[in-house]
Amino acid sequence: MIPYYYLGSISLVVIGIYIVIAKKNLIKIIIGLDIMDTGVNLLLISVGYVKNATAPIENVPGPYVDPIPQALVLTAIVIGVSVMALALSIAIGIYKKTGTLELDEIMGVEE
Amino acid sequence: MIRPVLLIAFPLFFAFLSPIIGLWSKKWVRYLIIFATALNATLAGLLLLEVFQHPVFDIIGGFQPPLGIVLMVGPLGAIIAFIINLVAFIISIYNLKVEKEPIVRYSMLYLLLVMGSTGMVLTGDLFNLFVFLEVTSIASYSLAAYNKDKKGFLGAMKYVIIGSIGSTFVLLGITLIYSELRTLNMLDIAARIGTMDPYVKIIAFTSLFLGFGVEAEMFPLNTWVPDVYDGAPNPISAAFASLPAKAGIFALARVIFTMFSFTNFLWFVVIMGLLTVFFGELIAYTQKNLKRMLAYSSIGQMGMIIMGLGIGTTLAVEGAFYQMIAHALGKALLFIAAGFLIYAAKSDKIEDMKGMARNPLVGIPLLIGALSIMGMPPFAGFYGKFFILMGGFSEGYYAIIALFLAASIVEVAYYARFIKIVFEKGNRVIRPDAATYIPLILLAILIVLIGVYPKPILAVLQHVSAFITGGA
Amino acid sequence: MDALTLFGIFILLPLVGALLSYFGRKYAPIIALIFVAITGIFLYVWYGNFGSYTVDIGVKLNLTFDITTWFFMLMINTVIFSSLLFAVSADLKNAGGFSTLMLLGFTGANGVLLSRDFLSLYLFWELMSWSVYVLILRTSGEYARRYLLFGVLSAYFIIMGIGIIYYYTGSFLYEDALSGVIPYYAWAWILVFLILGFGVKMAIIPLHVWAPYAYSSEQPFVSFLSGGLSKLGTFGIYMSMYSIAGVGILDSFGTFRGVSLLGYPFALLGAITAFVGTILAIFQDDIRKLLAYSSIGQLGYVMVGLGLGTSLALGGALFHAFNHAFFKSLLFLGAGAVIYRTGKYKISEMGGLGYRMPFTFLFVLFAIFGLAGIPLTSGFISKWMLYEAAIEKKFVIIAPLMLIASVGAFLYSYRILYGIFLGGLKEEHKKVKEAPAPMLAAMFILMLPLLIFSIVPGWILGWINDVLTNTGLKPIDYTQFTYYSSIGGANMATFWIAFMVLFFVAVAIFIMKRARVVNQYDNYFAGEAPSSVALHAAHNYYKPLKDTWAPMLKYSVDRAYEKFSKFFVDGFYEIKKIYTGNPQDYAAYLGIAFLIFLIIGWWLL
């Protein structure tokens, strides 16, 4: 049986993809990417969840949740953030060159 | 004893050293990356000799696998890593030509690109593969936009969008595998893949396949390729075709063979490969811009490699690996030559390049590169193509091979058209400078050597049979 | 002799020569010449010293030196030797590159002839193919492009043939193909692919369109291409039909008057090629194009022989291929000498050069006799063998086509002869000198075998018989001066005696009549004194004939190919629209691909 919180993360991914495909504004597209990323991160962290367990800290009695997804998701978040930062900086560059962030207009603007 | 981790540590070290050196002298940064990549290539070569007999496992941080992070280097991984670093070294000579400032960041990103690609090949851990993929991607995104013109920014934007969706898929696949198997070590996954729920397994496989397919330029995930290759600085276009693409396809091969041994999925991979070849080659024919033409041609070549992997016989996969090597060398050469032609003609349109390659220092390597890409002996491209074709025949893919050959004729047609123009009499002949012709000649010599005497490469590639059945 | 010696002499040595001669500057052809001469010497020394060897360069190359290989090597070696000798004084630009590529082509040719496994066959075939490409590229990128497309088409046909064999046998060796695992319907595919693939090199219609362009490059190279390398097509078809497959398999498709149903269509195609090639040659004003179409036509004859497959036909085909190697190279070199001296390509712009270049004239005359199949020359014997092979089986289409083509050959030969060497000398050619000595020597070398084998065809028929028996076929019945067939044969001794008698009679009449020797500029005057330009009537030669053929000549295979390719290129532009340039479309592709993959994955489960 798939836990219900999986559905939440999957729907985040779907929403993210929808935004990327449907929205015309670059910033919104980048937000869509971020939502997708968040959805997967959520899935990753929920994979390690064990019911009624505590954080895996020394001297705290078990059962512990799986610590590996937590480590992984930290890395993934960091990576996600840096990609977003880069994407936004590229968007700034595009804005400087074309004067707009609407994708339709960007495609039309000649150099 | 060379620890594989050095191949990742050194570029990282030099990458972050370069701003410090940059404070002192901008000029020395350029030589620093040459030195760093040369060192890396040497190390990779030594590593290749070492892992020739059996795979090497390098345990990081003292945790034993499958829990700890591990680098897993088989002969195939080692040779791909070697080629990646070798080509990176040769391209870094051409980097001396890059005029655009700030050179410090450029060097840093270039070294990160090398490090990420090498890491993708060497790692034995699925999550680390993702991390290295992201390092490579971030470096690539920035380098793609490095020219800071509209073309570059737009290409980079497309790359970011497609690339992030791809890496999200990779992460999704990793999550699904972890949720079922509670491990991230590739060999461990391979051993226990049978216990996975088949539906989750399919989703995980599809996600990983698509995610790495973006880097491996598989159809229809290769849509970013022409724009990025076109918009990036010339050495970076060369590097893109040789470093991340090869790392991506090697990751793809590991997904297909090492982790999931899906034998009933393989024909589908062949079809994807064929589609990739078809779209790549046919569209390349229509291109008037040299770098875009080479980009589409690169897609076609990668499609051929994917086909070889999909055919899945020892011969075909051997051919696919041979082709990876040949393509890394050949495409790097052609992109460097393209860089010179664009510089000489002051235009990126092929029709403006009349007679620009008539200087033998450019012309002969250019011809060798083009012939190698076409699969002519005695150049590197020959054996790969021949083995893939014969592997395909032995599995009975007649129709697919026939279609593939038809697409290959189109490939020959547009290369012949390009060669016709650049060797036409007309404009005055421009002499290339040393930073251009030395890499060209080095690559040409390598291509000829590998093609004339394939024994050393084939000796390494005989480990393919172990690789297919799920080894390192 | 061991594997490495064989490999070293015939493959590595030319390769080393190729590398060295690149840096030879002006002397490059001489360096190349030395290397070719060395292989030639070994070819002579090793006659009879046959054997089969394996060389391991990572992949195993199976090389066999036998009489078939030797026979073809003899042609190619002689032809390239004379071509390079010609090139010594031809003042080529970048002679180093030229020699390098010639030697690479030579290496490829040697490899194709030596190889007895498909991998090395394909390897050397492609090596030869691209070196020819680059050689044509020296003259024109457009010609080279046309050549390369067909060269690659040829290679891919061969690949398809090889691949089907590999599917059944899992081995690249020729001998494994005969182990009986390949069903006969697969053989049909294999043979059709291989014959078409090798047929491209022989310029069989409709795969000939590259030839007129390729043959318009530098003459010393073209003489090697037409005389030497096109014979690899002959070799390939001969091997694939009669050595790899064999008569048993060919006959399993059913026979038509004793000729395999698979071979007959190709024989017919050969006859059509001979016919069409000749007709087109008649109407060419460019000497290079004329010789190119002539070459197409002559190789059509060879194809007829290869298709018919009786011993007489095969013997004729091999003999004709041998003759063609010499007379066509000789013609190209002769044309090259004339072009070198005059700088003109058009026949109508030349004329009267016979007095200026007497030796060239003599050699070309001899080649033309061979080409037209005039009795007394070896060209006559080989053609006669082919006619007899067709007549013997009562092929009422093939034989007449060949005979008509032979008449046509006469017409275009005369065009060369008259247009270039006879008639009035043009004003601007009065200072033309005889070709330099190396060129004459090159032509002389090529003339010798034609002369010798026309008197004593028995020598070459002996080799051909060895080739046939080595392939497992019945030998031809022959003596030193004669060959016999079921409907006659030919006796050269009688011919020669008759010729000698007639020759002396003619000489006697000539002396007795005391013919008046007139100045070259004195002819055709009829009271008026026009300039010498107007005197030469080679302009619009054969116009009435051309008018007769005009309705047929408007069809062009060339244009058909262009239309065909344009159709496809338009399609490419349609496909290109998939790459819209909009990242959102691309993201949508990704999503769709994910869904499709999932569906297929689930379905495959």
pLDDT tens by residue, C366-406: 888 888 877 777 888 888 888 888 888 888 888 888 888 88
In C348-407, the DSSP E strands lie at none
Longest dimension (CA), chain A: 65
Subunit partners of chain C (3 or more CB pairs within 8 A)? A, B
* Residues in chain C closer than 8 A to A21 (CB atoms): 584, 587-588, 591
In a domain, C249, yes or no: no
β partners of residue B185: B125
Distance from the B151 Cα atom to the nearest Cα atom in chain C, whole angstroms: 11
User: A21, C583: Cβ pair inside 8 Å?
Assistant: no
Measured CA to CA in angstroms, residue B204 lies from A35, B143, B199, C594 at distances of 20, 30, 9, 11
* Residues in chain A closer than 8 A to C592 (CB atoms): none
Count of domains forming chain A? 1
CATH number at residue A95: 1.10.287.3510
**What letter does residue C480 receive in the DSSP assignment?**
S
Please name which of B427, B436, B449 lies closest in space to residue B378, comparing C-alpha atoms: B449
One domain for residues C539 and C597: no
Range of the domain at C376: 261-488+535-555
Report the Cα B100 to chain-centroid distance in Å: 25
Give the residue ranges of chain B where pLDDT is below 70.
Answer: 1, 62, 65-67, 99-101, 470-472
| Angle, CA of C445, C450 and C451, to the nearest 5° | 95
Q: Flag whether pLDDT at C535 surpasses 60.
A: no
* Token digits of residue B48: 């290749």
Predicted local distance difference test score (pLDDT) of residue C236: 92
Strands B56-60 and B69-73: antiparallel
* Residues in chain A closer than 8 A to B129 (CB atoms): none
* Residues in chain B closer than 8 A to C142 (CB atoms): 420
| Spatial contact of C109 and C77, defined as CB atoms under 8 Å apart | no
Q: Is B416 on the interface with C (CB under 8 A)?
A: yes
Residue of C nearest to A13 (CA): C591
Mean pLDDT, rounded, for C465-478: 87
Cα–Cα distance, C521 to C528 (Å, whole number): 13
Cα–Cα distance, B273 to C118 (Å, whole number): 26
b/e map of B92-109 (b: 16 or more CB within 10 Å)? bbbbbbbeeeebbbbbbb
Question: How does pLDDT run across C20-69, given as a tens digit for each residue?
Answer: 998 888 888 999 999 999 999 998 888 888 888 888 888 888 888 989 99
Q: Flag whether pLDDT at A71 surpasses 70.
A: yes
Predicted local distance difference test score (pLDDT) of residue B471: 64
One domain for residues C324 and C423: yes
β partners of residue B289: B349
User: C584, A20: Cβ pair inside 8 Å?
Assistant: yes
One domain for residues C361 and C311: yes
Give every CB contact of residue C8 below 8 A, 6+ residues apart in sequence: none
Predicted local distance difference test score (pLDDT) of residue B150: 84
| Spatial contact of C168 and C186, defined as CB atoms under 8 Å apart | yes
Question: How does pLDDT run across B120-139, given as a tens digit for each residue?
Answer: 998 888 888 899 999 999 99
Cα–Cα distance, B137 to B168 (Å, whole number): 12
Cα–Cα distance, B252 to B244 (Å, whole number): 12
User: C587, A107: Cβ pair inside 8 Å?
Assistant: no
One domain for residues C540 and C585: no
One domain for residues C577 and C437: no
* Residues in chain C closer than 8 A to A40 (CB atoms): none
Q: H-helix or E-strand containing C64? A: strand C60-65
User: B162, C58: Cβ pair inside 8 Å?
Assistant: no
| Spatial contact of B214 and B302, defined as CB atoms under 8 Å apart | no
b/e map of C100-126 (b: 16 or more CB within 10 Å)? bbbbbbbbbbbbbbbbbbbbbbbbbbb
**What letter does residue A62 receive in the DSSP assignment?**
S
Q: Write the ipTM.
A: 0.92
One domain for residues C473 and C364: yes
Distance from the B127 Cα atom to the nearest Cα atom in chain A, whole angstroms: 8
The whole-chain average pLDDT of chain C stands at 86
Range of the domain at A50: 4-108
Cα–Cα distance, C84 to C99 (Å, whole number): 8
Measured CA to CA in angstroms, residue B17 lies from B20, B138, B217, B251, B448 at distances of 5, 19, 32, 29, 36
* Residues in chain B closer than 8 A to C605 (CB atoms): 198-199, 202
User: A17, C583: Cβ pair inside 8 Å?
Assistant: no
β partners of residue C53: C63
Q: Is A103 on the interface with C (CB under 8 A)?
A: yes
The confidence band for C512, taking pLDDT boundaries of 50, 70 and 90, is confident
Cα–Cα distance, B211 to B112 (Å, whole number): 20
User: A68, B184: Cβ pair inside 8 Å?
Assistant: yes
In a domain, C522, yes or no: no
Between positions 164 and 223 of B, the ones with CB within 8 A of C are: 165-166, 169, 198-199, 202-203, 205-207, 209-210, 214, 220-221, 223
Count of domains forming chain C? 2
* Token digits of residue C92: 């080529």
| Spatial contact of B146 and B233, defined as CB atoms under 8 Å apart | yes
Predicted local distance difference test score (pLDDT) of residue C81: 93
In a domain, C64, yes or no: no
Nearest Cβ partner for C594 among B210, B386, B412? B210
Distance from the C598 Cα atom to the nearest Cα atom in chain A, whole angstroms: 15
| Angle, CA of B461, B464 and B467, to the nearest 5° | 140
In a domain, C161, yes or no: no
Cα–Cα distance, C244 to C432 (Å, whole number): 52
Residue of A nearest to B138 (CA): A83
User: A83, B161: Cβ pair inside 8 Å?
Assistant: no
Q: H-helix or E-strand containing B363? A: helix B360-374
Predicted local distance difference test score (pLDDT) of residue B335: 92
β partners of residue C255: C260
One domain for residues C469 and C582: no
Give every CB contact of residue A35 below 8 A, 6+ residues apart in sequence: A12, A13, A15, A16, A19
Interface probe, candidates C582, C584, C594, chain A, greatest A C-beta count within 10 A:
C584
**What letter does residue C379 receive in the DSSP assignment?**
H
Distance from the A75 Cα atom to the nearest Cα atom in chain B, whole angstroms: 8
One domain for residues C362 and C341: yes
* Count of beta carbons in the 10 Å neighbourhood of residue A81: 12
One domain for residues C579 and C476: no
Mean pLDDT, rounded, for C305-321: 90
Predicted local distance difference test score (pLDDT) of residue A111: 44
The phi, psi pair for C252, rounded to 5°, reads -70, -10
Distance from the B67 Cα atom to the nearest Cα atom in chain A, whole angstroms: 9
Subunit partners of chain A (3 or more CB pairs within 8 A)? B, C
Distance from the B181 Cα atom to the nearest Cα atom in chain A, whole angstroms: 11
User: B283, C163: Cβ pair inside 8 Å?
Assistant: no
Residue of A nearest to C590 (CA): A17
Domain range summary for chain B, segments of one domain joined by +? 263-472
User: C591, A103: Cβ pair inside 8 Å?
Assistant: no
One domain for residues C550 and C584: no
Subunit partners of chain B (3 or more CB pairs within 8 A)? A, C
One domain for residues C474 and C574: no
Q: Flag whether pLDDT at C106 surpasses 90.
A: yes
One domain for residues C569 and C461: no
Q: Among all chains, which residue has been given the structure tokens 């002679």?
A: C95
**What letter does residue B95 receive in the DSSP assignment?**
G
The confidence band for C153, taking pLDDT boundaries of 50, 70 and 90, is very high
The phi, psi pair for C518, rounded to 5°, reads -105, 155
Task: Read off the amino acid at residue C166.
Answer: Y
* Residues in chain A closer than 8 A to B140 (CB atoms): none
The confidence band for C113, taking pLDDT boundaries of 50, 70 and 90, is very high
* Token digits of residue B186: 């590739």
Burial label, C254 (beta-carbon count in 10 A; 0-12, 13-18, 19+): exposed
Interface probe, candidates A14, A18, A21, A29, chain C, greatest C C-beta count within 10 A:
A21
* Residues in chain B closer than 8 A to A78 (CB atoms): none
Cα–Cα distance, C536 to B338 (Å, whole number): 52
Number of H helices, E strands in chain C: 26, 7
User: C584, A17: Cβ pair inside 8 Å?
Assistant: no
Cα–Cα distance, B307 to B305 (Å, whole number): 5
Q: Is B438 on the interface with C (CB under 8 A)?
A: no
Instruction: Please report, in angstroms and rounded to a whole number, the separation of the first and last CA atoms in chain A.
Output: 55
Q: Is the dihedral of CA C433, C437, C438, C441 positive or negative?
A: positive
| Spatial contact of B163 and B137, defined as CB atoms under 8 Å apart | yes
User: B457, C594: Cβ pair inside 8 Å?
Assistant: no
